[in-house]
């Protein structure tokens, strides 16, 4: 009997020991894919021949894979834009005709060559910052009268800082900060922190999105802006331009694990995929529906956010990069990200908001259970099993006892 109990415990411990490595291999799903990431500013520019206007910069990130390359281009000419180009070559290049690029009316002034190697390209553009007076605390700008809205901040009219000064070639990051000319921005800024990744991982700070070698991240921060009303809330308008498949729908996935992003059980992904949804996703923008009201947030500083349904936009976004690469004959889609919900504090309480989005190629990364959660699950499921087994053993012991007593007299 003791041996049976020992076996049961033995089995249980083995089960626990086995689940942890198996779960880590689940988490490490695809972690072996690595890219060699390098950053360069203003590719091919001879600044003596073509001086850059203030606030214009073009960051090029090359993420070299085994037999393909991902190019990321972050540009502050006009509305800030991130262009992702995937090629099947390991020697594809970015070619910029700088004089034409700076005039902003010439399609083809920025190319990724050889053009036949381009497999996929898509741009995400930050076009407008909307501010509205939420007098009735509905946090629902889609159902507010136009009179509730202030004149939106056009990001194309912002004065942007020098990307070159904020470049960190080892961490693969850069910070692009800009401000509007109005009084509200005299001590405020809107910043985009760009990060490129060579391998799978997670950011330290919330929302700690899972990234991989095929993705890059933008963290938007709205800091120190003087709101135009005491009950002001903000929305950010995003537009996407693609070569074949526009980013046409947002999928919302649910999870039962919020370990990496406390209290958030959803992830939203704006995907570029063929009409038939069974086909694989070509590229995406992914986010958790949460913004934070302080730079180093605690739990209470999280505020939910919502996206509007993507719509077709008649015009190309006002980005020099998009015009130079795609030209005018492209389909544009757009949506608004609204920060905060009814009952949450207004912007004036902290004068800060941050929100993070991942932009990448292929299928978006999927959060899996962490080893901790798996161990908890194993204990949670294993303990009742152990009790049932032990119970069974005890019953057997009791049933067996009278039998041995019956046999004894015969002996």
Among 51, 274, 295, 327, binds ligand NAG (CB under 6 A): 274
Alpha-carbon torsion, ordered 19, 24, 25, 28, to 10 deg = 160
Kindly state the DSSP code that residue 149 receives in the 8-state scheme: B
Segment contacting ligand NAG by CB under 6 A, of 5-13, 98-106, 261-269, 288-296 = 98-106
Q: How far apart are CA 325 and CA 283, in angstroms?
A: 18
Q: 3-state class of 26 per DSSP?
A: helix
Sole window of 15-23, 35-43, 203-211, 394-402 interacting with ligand NAG (rule: CB under 6 A): 35-43
Is the CB of 84 or the CB of 378 nearer to ligand NAG? Answer: 84
Stretch that binds ligand NAG, among 60-68, 247-255, 261-269, 384-392 (CB under 6 A): 60-68
Beta strands in 30-157 (DSSP E): 36-41, 58-64, 69-75, 81-87, 93-96, 110-113, 118-133, 153-154
Q: Which stretch binds ligand NAG (CB under 6 A): 61-69, 324-332, 382-390, 395-403?
A: 61-69
Q: Please say which residue, 98 or 346, places its beta carbon nearer to ligand NAG.
A: 346
Q: How far is CA 271 from CA 41, 87, 281, 284, 361, in A?
A: 29, 19, 6, 4, 10
Q: Does position 25 bind ligand NAG by CB under 6 A?
A: no
Nearest residue to ligand NAG, scored by beta-carbon proximity = 334
CB of 257 to ligand NAG, least distance (A): 20
Alpha carbon distance 104, 321 (integer Å)? 8
Return the number of the residue (91 or 136) whose C-beta is nearest ligand NAG: 136
Residue 131 touching ligand NAG (CB under 6 A): no
DSSP symbols for 331-394? -EEEEEEEE--TTSPPGGGTSEEEEEEEEEESSPP-----HHHHHHHHHHHHHHHHHHHHHHHH
Two tokens at 192? 């985009």
| Residue 64 in tokens | 């070299």
The percent helix, strand, coil of the chain (3-state, each to 5) is 25, 35, 40
Q: Interaction with ligand NAG in 297-356: which residues (CB under 6 A)?
A: 308, 311, 334-336, 346, 348
Question: Is residue 187 involved in binding ligand NAG (CB under 6 A)?
Answer: yes
How many residues sit in the footprint of ligand NAG (CB under 6 A)? 50
Q: Which of 92, 212, 216, 286 binds ligand NAG (CB under 6 A)?
A: 212
User: What is the nearest approach in angstroms of ligand NAG to the Cβ of residue 192?
Assistant: 19
Go through 40-59 and write b for each residue having 16 or more CB atoms within 10 A of its CB, e for each that does not: eebbebeeeeeebeeebbbb
Q: Which residues bind ligand NAG (CB under 6 A)?
A: 30, 33, 36, 38, 41-42, 65-68, 88, 103, 105-106, 130, 135-136, 141, 144-145, 148-149, 154, 156-157, 164, 183, 186-187, 212-214, 226, 229-231, 235, 237, 274-276, 308, 311, 334-336, 346, 348, 361-362
């Amino acid at each position: 009997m003791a041996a049976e109990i020992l076996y049961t415990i033995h089995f249980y411990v083995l089960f626990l020991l086995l689940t942890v490595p198996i779960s880590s291999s689940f988490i490490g799903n695809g972690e072996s894919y690595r890219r060699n990431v390098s950053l360069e500013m203003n590719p091919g520019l001879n600044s003596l021949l073509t001086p850059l206007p203030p606030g214009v910069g073009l960051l090029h990130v090359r993420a070299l894979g085994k037999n393909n390359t991902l190019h990321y281009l972050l540009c502050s000419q006009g509305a800030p834009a991130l262009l992702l180009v995937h090629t099947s070559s390991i020697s594809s290049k970015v070619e910029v005709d700088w004089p034409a690029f700076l005039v902003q009316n010439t399609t083809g002034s920025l190319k990724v060559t050889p053009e036949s190697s381009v497999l996929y390209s898509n741009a995400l553009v930050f076009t407008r910052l909307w501010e509205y007076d939420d007098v009735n605390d509905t946090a629902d700008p889609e159902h507010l009268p136009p009179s509730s809205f202030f004149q939106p901040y056009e990001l194309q009219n912002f004065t942007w800082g020098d990307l070159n000064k904020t470049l960190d070639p080892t961490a693969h990051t850069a910070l692009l900060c800009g401000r509007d000319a109005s009084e509200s921005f005299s001590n405020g800024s809107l910043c985009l922190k760009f990060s490129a990744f060579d391998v799978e991982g997670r950011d330290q700070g919330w929302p700690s999105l899972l990234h991989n070698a095929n993705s890059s991240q933008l963290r938007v921060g709205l800091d120190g802006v003087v709101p135009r009303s005491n009950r002001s809330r903000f929305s950010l308008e995003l537009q996407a331009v693609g070569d074949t498949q526009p980013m046409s729908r947002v999928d919302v996935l649910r999870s039962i694990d919020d370990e990496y992003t406390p209290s958030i059980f959803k992830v939203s992904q704006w995907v570029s995929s063929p009409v038939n949804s069974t086909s694989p996703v070509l590229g995406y923008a992914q986010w958790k529906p949460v913004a934070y009201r302080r730079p180093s947030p605690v739990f209470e500083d999280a505020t939910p956010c919502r996206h509007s349904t993507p719509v077709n936009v008649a015009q190309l976004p006002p980005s020099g990069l998009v015009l130079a690469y795609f030209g005018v004959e492209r389909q544009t889609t757009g949506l608004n990200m609204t920060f905060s919900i009814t009952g949450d504090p207004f912007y004036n309480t902290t004068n800060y908001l941050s929100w993070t989005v991942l932009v990448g190629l292929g299928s978006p990364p999927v959060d899996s259970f962490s080893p901790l959660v798996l161990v908890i699950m194993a204990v949670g499921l294993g303990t009742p099993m152990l009790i049932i087994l032990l119970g069974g053993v005890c019953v057997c012991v009791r049933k067996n006892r009278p039998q041995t007593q019956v046999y004894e007299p015969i002996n």
